[in-house]
Amino acid sequence: MKNDALPIEGIDYVELYVGNAKQASYFYKNGFGFTPVAYSGPETGVKDKTSYLMQQGDIRLLLTSSLVPDHPISRYVITHGDGVADVAMRVKDVDWTYKEALRRGAKGIQAPKILKDDHGTIRGAAIAAYGDTVHTFIERHDYRGIFAPGYTPFPGKEESVGLKHVDHVVANVEEGKMDYWVEFYGNVFGFTQLISFDDKDISTEYSALRSKVMRNPSGTVKFPINEPAAGKRKSQIQEYLDYFKGAGVQHLAISTEDLVGTVARLAERGIEFLRTPDSYYAELPKRVGGISERIDDLKRLGILVDKDEKGYMLQIFTKPLQDRPTLFFELIQRKGSESFGKGNFKALFQSIEAEQAKRGNL
Ligand code: FE2
């Protein structure tokens, strides 16, 4: 790929630091249909933390808790609550990628290191991103084990509700910092800006935000970056920053090939979604034209629809995944459209604000 300054093959895994990885693994399994596939902890020779690798489609969530109080993972969880600590990217050559990233202005967190077991070799390194988030670079073409040295396969049957792929990972950063991080992904990774939304696009009567979407040249990684903007009331982004105590990942958007079926299964499993007012569906046929889904199904489940020149897309947002109103999932089905749901911002933000108001933060 020409002009690909720092080639990224894709997102390898997303690591969440959580208060209790064992219990969190039940939520992502029984709620969201992820299969626990690998485990590391004291039984596998790792003394200070446990990790559960959860898989569905090609999405890998790594849930990690520390076992001791004075530990970077414990400090992360005290400050931020449960959240995304690492958006790890698969690369061809870790040594080269790390050196090049630093040369282009990134801050190193972990110099390249080699991990080995009977199944082969993995190379990893890490750089700093927004807040306490990091990007691990991982090179695994010489490894045939379940995930990484120190991990053992987790017994059990496969779960799935049809989640396939990480479509995008969204950062919330402090007011005035969006362009700093846009430049960071531009300068360090050679990403380009796909689209931008200003506070006139993304505002309701009450709260506002600005957003720019950065993408790598091969299109395997998309990172929207949000910052709060001034409105009559507190922006949803500011509410996140207040609870998370700084910048961090706001949501993972996960694609499915049958959003209606997936959302119906998730609702049965007890997953809670944001509600959409009935009035949204009255206006829908006029706004998006012909679609193959039944409006009644979309209305019953609360699924949103948007379209652009290339086609349409279906999307829905979960309620927060932990007690703090911070990280959530978006579920998305693209039917040609490359949009980020601009036509839904108003309906969506009104439902987010309704939740914010319940928490006394609007
Ligand atoms: Fe999104």
- Return d(Cα 89, Cα 297) in angstroms, integer: 36
**126, part of any domain:** yes
Residue 2: pLDDT over 60: no
Residue 200: pLDDT over 80: no
Structure tokens at 129: 């991103």
Tell me the CA–centroid distance for residue 253 and ligand 1, in Å: 5
205 and 232 in a single domain? The answer is yes
Of all residues in the chain, the percent with pLDDT exceeding 70 is 98
pLDDT digits (tens, 9 = 90+) for 333-345: 999 988 887 778 7
Q: What is the DSSP letter of 159?
A: P
CATH value at residue 232: 3.10.180.10
Band the pLDDT of 234: cuts 50, 70, 90. confident
Tell me the CA–centroid distance for residue 209 and ligand 1, in Å: 13
190 and 279 in a single domain? The answer is yes
Q: Is 210 helix (H, G, I), strand (E, B) or coil?
A: strand
Torsion angle defined by CA atoms of residues 28, 32, 38 and 41, in that order, rounded to the nearest 10 degrees: 0
**2, part of any domain:** no
DSSP letter string, 43-77: GGT--SEEEEEEEETTEEEEEEEESSSSSHHHHHH
142 and 177 in a single domain? The answer is no
Domain residues for the domain of 183 are 163-359
Tell me the CA–centroid distance for residue 73 and ligand 1, in Å: 27
Tell me the CA–centroid distance for residue 120 and ligand 1, in Å: 36
Residue at which a domain ends, from 153, 175, 204 = 153
- Return d(Cα 216, Cα 337) in angstroms, integer: 18
- Return d(Cα 342, Cα 182) in angstroms, integer: 20
Band the pLDDT of 292: cuts 50, 70, 90. very high
Strand order in the sheet with 311-317: 192-197, 208-215, 222-229, 163-172, 248-256, 328-335, 311-317, 304-308
**5, part of any domain:** no
Tell me the CA–centroid distance for residue 295 and ligand 1, in Å: 22
225 and 205 in a single domain? The answer is yes
CB atoms closer than 10 angstroms to residue 201: 15
Tell me the CA–centroid distance for residue 170 and ligand 1, in Å: 7
27 and 171 in a single domain? The answer is no
Residue at which a domain ends, from 104, 123, 153 = 153
136 and 242 in a single domain? The answer is no
Tell me the CA–centroid distance for residue 19 and ligand 1, in Å: 26
**299, part of any domain:** yes
- Return d(Cα 21, Cα 73) in angstroms, integer: 12
Band the pLDDT of 224: cuts 50, 70, 90. very high
**3, part of any domain:** no
214 and 70 in a single domain? The answer is no
Tell me the CA–centroid distance for residue 356 and ligand 1, in Å: 18
Task: Count structural domains, the chain.
Answer: 2
134 and 190 in a single domain? The answer is no
Q: What is the mean pLDDT of the chain?
A: 93
- Return d(Cα 302, Cα 236) in angstroms, integer: 20
Residue 4: pLDDT over 90: no
Structure tokens at 86: 């690492």
169 and 140 in a single domain? The answer is no
171 and 93 in a single domain? The answer is no
- Return d(Cα 34, Cα 25) in angstroms, integer: 8
**199, part of any domain:** yes
- Return d(Cα 189, Cα 9) in angstroms, integer: 12
**In this structure, what are the phi and psi dihedrals at residue 219, rounded to the nearest 5 degrees?**
80, 10
**40, part of any domain:** yes
321 and 200 in a single domain? The answer is yes
Residue at which a domain ends, from 124, 153, 182 = 153
**96, part of any domain:** yes
